[in-house]
Amino acid sequence: MLTFDLDDKARLSLERLLPRLQPILAGADDPDGFIRRLHQHFPRLFGLLHDLYGDQYDFFYHLEEILRTAAQSYAERSAELHALDQRREADHLWFQREQMVGGVCYVDLFAKTLAGLRKHIPYFCELGLTYLHLMPLFKAPEGNNDGGYAVSSYREVDPRLGTMAELSKVAAELRHNGISLVVDFVFNHTSDEHEWARKAIEGDAKYEQFYFMFDDRTVPDEYQRTLREIFPEHRRGNFTFREDIGKWVWTTFHSFQWDLNYANPDVFNAMLGEMLTLANNGVEVLRLDAVAFIWKQMGTSCESLPQVHAIIQAYNALARIAAPAMIFKSEAIVHPADVGSYVKWEECPIGYNPTLMALGWEALATREVKLLLKSMQNWFHIPADCAWVNYVRSHDDIGWTFADEDAQQLWINGYDHRQFLNQFYTGKFSGSFARGLPFNYNPANHDMRISGSAASLAGLEWALETKNERLIDHAIRRIVLLYGLALSAGGIPLIYLGDELGTLNDYSYQDDPAKAEDSRWVHRPVFDWRRAGRRSNAKTLEGRIFQTMTHLIQTRKTTPAFANGHTEFFESGNPHVLAYTRGGEVLALVNFSEQPQTLYAGAIVHHWRLTAPVKDISRPTGGIFTPGETYTLEPLQFVWLEKG
Ligand code: GLC
Ligand code: GLC
């Protein structure tokens, strides 16, 4: 009997496909490069696409279309990017270096336009950045467009910011300055003004199939029973009724963000084309937005389903073939176990670490490190060929995404603890230093998240009003402490630009009708270049923060132990102090309380011979010393002790 297993099928279909791809590749400057990579990644790609779309009667037609898209964009890729592809293949763990330091900003808020941004490249270099995430900058609807996360065209830059040609130029110029361009791939949804959505509205059957559209509530009601609501303040439920067409459309986020239907292979292929176009414009890291939501299945939460992983892995395999210099970063702000499930070499080699981010703030509020420590011990570990992106603040809200199971083991009730953290960070808890705002309070379960700038959440806004020097100092220490953690925990540290100057909340969004309903705008102010001008004066607030941060950044960049590698979090013997070692060479100690804290050598010697001389590399005045029986940390101080 003749049986074909998947490998045979893959081999045979590759044999059939190759001659059909040759004419497309004829125009490429290195056609063999594509063929070589295709041979290498095809078996895996075939398996993934077969799992996703193998039951479609015209599966092989779709397969061919998908590979044509990849070949076409490979043929259009520039010589400079082909050269980068080769360098990155030879050095595929480039993103793990201690020299990696990321920054993120909005083009319009930072520099008005892409042309303006180019003039600020020296500022990025001064900070030591090697990675720059430009927030969504594509064409989007007027008025509320969720900060650009409702994309109307992936091939057109928002005309107020510039053009696609300018974006390519920015990418190249950044690269020549040692900085990789990062942009979003908002692939869970398009805006309702995207050409595909417009055609669907006109009744074009092909494009109706690109989205989830229903004639009545029967099916939506079935789905809704098991769905979480993301923006309950704006609209209850996850579907939007469109009067103009009399249909319900699946909209996980806002009503104008239409979820794409990846069960349709045409959607997969169309978005592949958009993705590879971004790669060909010089994007080196693609931030996969809202990854968890891209596959729906009735009766489930429709988050992080197995097909989500298959889709990302298939895209990854196609990027390895057609644009291997580009890597993916996951944005999954979910349960820690699910966050980690996306971070794999063959899926997203790098991923946001929301668990460390949220629990850093949690530890500042409780002044205790037990939940942070347990969570890091349970969830920090990822495969050796990957890296976390460690951040303190982003353009989004803070959600308390720790695992309830971890909390329970420490006798902490997860629900109550989140209520406490929300009270604390909105300044309602007595004695709180924070000035945050609620984000998307859900009356059904009293859930909410927190908006606010790093400085305002860390107490700087309040401290400046009191004019109390000690409180101002504490606030600065909290900002620097969290950044110290991000810079040293292992992975790529990511600076939300403005934090290096202690940028406070900006309440002016409340006067703009397109923004007033979304408190995240409180921490998305126009970058204040007047304040930035004070950064070289160490006597100013800006100078104090900026200079401390740049010292830490430079230290990270010159300390090999801070390259990606083994991090061990362990019990310091003091409930207020987090302790971890980096590759056995550096010991980091972080005091989350406003009181001095003493550590006893015994607790630490076990993990690290703190009896030998060490060098305090966290401060310019650090010096070499031999610690005694005890070691005392100042209020909110952290140290990096390197073996001498
Ligand atoms: C991501 C973005 C967020 C946006 C959402 C919908 O989570 O970070 O700002 O609202 O996706 O695209
Ligand atoms: C949810 C989503 C996350 C998004 C956020 C925006 O938490 O999981 O992807 O960034 O909402 O507020």
- CATH number, domain with residue 614: 2.60.40.1180
Q: Of 392, 358, 397, 423, give the one whose Cα is nearest residue 521.
A: 397
Q: What is the mean pLDDT of residues 603-632?
A: 80
Domain total of the chain: 2
Confidence of residue 3 (pLDDT cuts 50, 70, 90): low
Rounded CA separation 562/556 (Å): 6
CB atoms under 10 Å from CB of 105, counted, come to 22
User: How far is ligand 2, taken at its centre, from the CA of residue 402, in Å?
Assistant: 14
Q: How far does residue 590's CA lie from ligand 1's centre (Å)? A: 31
Which residues lie below 8 Å from residue 530, measured CB to CB, with a gap of 6+?
none
> Is any ligand 2 atom within 6 A of the Cβ of residue 184?
no
260 CA distance to ligand 2 middle (Å): 17
pLDDT digits 0-9 by tens, 135-165: 999 999 999 999 999 999 999 999 999 999 9
The terminus-to-terminus CA distance of the chain in angstroms comes to 69
Q: Assign 2 a pLDDT band (cuts: 50, 70, 90).
A: low
Please tell me if the CB atom of residue 476 comes closer than 6 angstroms to any atom of ligand 2.
no
Nearest to 453 by CA among 499, 487, 515, 391: 499
* Atom 11, ligand 2: residue with shortest CA distance: 230
237 within some domain? yes
pTM: 0.96
153 three-state secondary structure: strand
Domain-terminating residue out of 234, 259, 284: 259
- Contact criterion met (CB below 8 Å) for 550 and 127: yes
Ligand nearest to the CA of 253: 1
Q: What number does the ligand 1 atom closest to the CA of 396 have?
A: 9
For the CA of 334, the nearest atom of ligand 2: 8
DSSP state string for 530-594: HHHTTTT-TTSHHHHHHHHHHHHHHHHHT-GGGSS--EEEEE-SSTTEEEEEETTTEEEEEE-SS
Q: Is residue 124 part of a domain?
A: no
Confidence of residue 351 (pLDDT cuts 50, 70, 90): very high
pLDDT at 233 over 90: no
Residue whose token pair is 């309602």: 428
Query: Which stretch of DSSP H or E encloses residue 625?
Result: strand 624-625
Closest ligand 2 atom to 440 CA: 12
CA distances from 82 to 112, 172, 348 (A): 31, 13, 21
Instruction: Render pLDDT for 421-431 as a digit per residue (tens, 0 to 9).
Output: 999 999 999 99
Collect all residues with Cβ–Cβ distance below 8 Å to 354 and sequence separation of at least 6.
Answer: 332, 333, 339, 399, 401
Residues of the chain above pLDDT 70, percent = 98
Our answer on whether the CB atom of 396 is closer than 6 Å to any ligand 2 atom is yes
Looking at the CA of 231, name the nearest ligand: 2
| 175: number of Cβ within 10 Å | 17
Ligand nearest 399 Cα, by number?
Answer: 2
In this structure, is residue 255 part of a structural domain?
A: yes
Does the pLDDT at position 381 exceed 90?
yes
Residue 620 falls inside a structural domain: yes
519 and 451 Cβ atoms separated by less than 8 Å: yes
Ligand nearest to the CA of 339: 2
Distance of CA 464 to the CA centre of its chain: 31
Q: From residue 264, how far is each of 55, 59, 271 by CA, in Å? A: 12, 11, 11
Exactly one of 284, 289, 500, 506 is catalytic; name it.
289
Ligand 2 within 6 A of 289 CB? no
Q: What's the CA-to-centroid distance between 207 and ligand 2, angstroms?
A: 27
In a domain, 601, yes or no: yes
- What separation in Å is there between the alpha carbon of 398 and the centre of ligand 2? 9
Residue from 399, 402, 393 nearest 440 by CA: 399
Tokens of 208: 């109706």
Query: Catalytic pick from 331, 397, 500, 542?
Result: 331
Question: Does residue 329 belong to any structural domain of this protein?
Answer: no
| Structural domain ending residue among the three candidates 205, 230, 259 | 259
Q: Does ligand 2 lie within 6 Å of residue 290's CB atom?
A: yes
User: Given the CA of residue 395, which atom of ligand 1 is nearest to it?
Assistant: 9
**Residue 289 annotated in active site:** yes
* Residue located nearest, by CA, to atom 3 of ligand 1: 396
Yes or no: say if 183 and 331 are a contact pair by the CB < 8 Å rule. Answer: no
**Residues with Cβ within 6 A of ligand 1?**
146-147, 149, 186, 253, 289-290, 331, 395-396
In a domain, 611, yes or no: yes
In the reported structure, the alpha carbon of residue 507 is separated from the centroid of ligand 2 by a whole-number distance in angstroms of 22
Distance of alpha carbon 268 from alpha carbon 311, whole angstroms: 8
**Domain-ending residue, one of 209, 224, 259:** 259
- Yes or no: say if 248 and 237 are a contact pair by the CB < 8 Å rule: no
Q: Is residue 165 exposed (0-12), middle (13-18) or buried (19+ Cβ within 10 Å)?
A: exposed
7 Cα distance to chain centroid: 35
Rounded distance between C-alpha atoms, residue 69 and residue 64, angstroms: 9
Residue 195: give the domain boundaries: 189-259
Which of 135, 137, 146 should be mutated for ligand 1, with most atoms under 8 A from CB? 146
Residue 72's pLDDT band, with cuts at 50, 70 and 90, is very high
- pLDDT score recorded for residue 492: 98
Instruction: Give domain status of residue 183, yes or no.
Output: no
Q: What are phi and psi of 510, to 5 degrees?
A: -65, -15
pLDDT tens digits, residue range 253-295? 999 999 999 999 999 999 999 999 999 999 999 999 999 999 9
Ligand 2 mutation target, pool 230, 253, 293, 352, most atoms within 8 A of CB: 230
From 288, 318, 312, select the one nearest 185 (Cα to Cα): 288
pLDDT in tens, 288-345: 999 999 999 999 999 999 999 999 999 999 999 999 999 999 999 999 999 999 999 9
From ligand 2's centre to the CA of 106, what distance in Å?
18
> What is the model's pLDDT at position 601?
76
